[in-house]
Amino acid sequence: MSLEMHKLTNEMNSSVLQSKKINKQIDHFQKTSFQVISSTESCVICNKVLTIRKFITFPCYHSFHQDCLVRVILNSNDYKFKNSIYKLQKKIMLNKGNKEVINELKAEIDELLSTKCALCTDIKINDIEEPLMKAGDREQDEWEL
């Protein structure tokens, strides 16, 4: 019994050390990783040049203007994510005069938005039933038979 306890203790200590190493690698990666984009890179949603407005680029190489990404999320079925953004936007509206608080809230929104790519995660998967072409789209006439 004592031998088994000693063995389990060693395994737990080994797991804790491994976990610390992984966390350290993640922290290092987050501080040193970056992506180079071309000056002509465009937003996946609106197809306009990224550098004209604030943008976010994900490790999957999908890039979005921040406002385009927010619009996609708010139109998605990810209610938890939508609710988090709504709450932060409401706090910004309530703190209109306090620039310090507003900057902190905007940083929270940036951090929240950078957690999920709108094309590679469940945000887009939940839209699988949406038609590719919606009524009123310009290109819809081109697809008519």
For residue 87, what pLDDT band results from cuts at 50, 70 and 90?
very high
**Are the C-beta atoms of residues 104 and 76 closer than 8 Å to each other?**
no
Q: Please tell me whether residues 2 and 53 are part of one structural domain.
A: no
Most confident stretch, 3-7, 36-40, 65-69: 65-69
Q: Please tell me whether residues 45 and 15 are part of one structural domain.
A: no
Q: Please tell me whether residues 54 and 85 are part of one structural domain.
A: yes
Phi, psi (rounded to 5 degrees) for 55: -140, 165
Q: Count structural domains, the chain.
A: 2
* Nearest-angstrom CA–CA distance, 133 and 144: 11
Q: Please tell me whether residues 92 and 112 are part of one structural domain.
A: yes
- Does the residue 56 lie in any domain? yes
**Are the C-beta atoms of residues 44 and 62 closer than 8 Å to each other?**
yes
Domain with 21 in it: 1-33
Phi, psi (rounded to 5 degrees) for 57: -115, 130
Q: Please tell me whether residues 50 and 90 are part of one structural domain.
A: yes
Please tell me whether residue 88 adopts helix, strand or coil conformation.
Answer: helix
pTM value is: 0.63
Please tell me whether residue 87 adopts helix, strand or coil conformation.
Answer: helix
- Does the residue 137 lie in any domain? no
